[in-house]
Structure 1
Amino acid sequence: MPESKVRKAAAEKKKAADRTQLAQQRSDRDRTVAAPGSRQWVPPTFITVGLLGVLWLVVYYITASVGITVPLLTDLGAWNVLIGMGLMAGAFALATLWK
């Protein structure tokens, strides 16, 4: 049995619906790619905090062994070890946020 002809208006309506559906799919895909909750800030942050902790300890140990007086470091005394280790522990805690 032969198929009936599709009216021109109906064909254009279907094309318009297909275009809007395709545009909606593209916008949905774009939204999932550019998620606002991305965690690209985590690796540079935890590397910086970890290196800051190591640097804090190195500077403290070098200045303490040579006898150089640095106003903040010298006043803190043995608390410098806790600060340096705390910064490194904070870096490891930040690393757990990385996806």
Structure 2
Amino acid sequence: MPKSKVRKKPDYNNNAASRTPVKVKAGPSPVWYVAIMLGFMLAGLIWLIVYYLAAEQISWLNDLGAWNFAIGFGLMVIGLVMTMRWR
């Protein structure tokens, strides 16, 4: 039985200069970062709770209408996005 030919794989020459390591800042997040992150999430939650419970007594809050949902959820999303940088 004839022996099959050995195929030589092409050499992929990686340039060492393009693979320089990048230092990543490691370590825990400062306390103020966590406080602000949680503050945004709680502020959004409180905004929505106040809107549901007392919108009729607060005229400017009632005038915003459906924008209250955008404000409340927007504050919570800011806090949620901040969690991606939290260590």
Give the structure-1-normalised TM-score: 0.54
Distance in 1 between residues matched to 2:84 and 2:33, nearest whole Å: 9
Provide the secondary structure at the position in 2 that maps to 1:39: coil
Extract structure 1 runs of 4+ deviating beyond 4 A: none
Q: Is the counterpart of residue 62 in structure 1 residue 50 in structure 2?
A: no
CA contact (8 A) 1:42 1:97 kept: no
Q: How many residue pairs were aligned?
A: 61
Provide the secondary structure at the position in 1 that maps to 2:85: coil
Instruction: Give 5+ residue unaligned stretches, structure 2.
Output: 1-24
2:63: which partner in 1? Answer: 75
Q: Is the counterpart of residue 50 in structure 1 residue 38 in structure 2?
A: no
2:11: which partner in 1? Answer: none
Distance in 2 between residues matched to 1:71 and 1:49, nearest whole Å: 24
Q: Displacement, 1:96?
A: 1.0
Which letter does structure 2 place at the counterpart of 1:46? M
Instruction: Give 5+ residue unaligned stretches, structure 1.
Output: 1-34
Distance in 2 between residues matched to 1:53 and 1:72, nearest whole Å: 17
Which letter does structure 2 place at the counterpart of 1:88? M
Give the structure-2-normalised TM-score: 0.61
RMSD over aligned Cα atoms: 2.1
Distance in 2 between residues matched to 1:62 and 1:85, nearest whole Å: 17
Q: Displacement, 1:39?
A: 3.2
Identity score, percent: 37
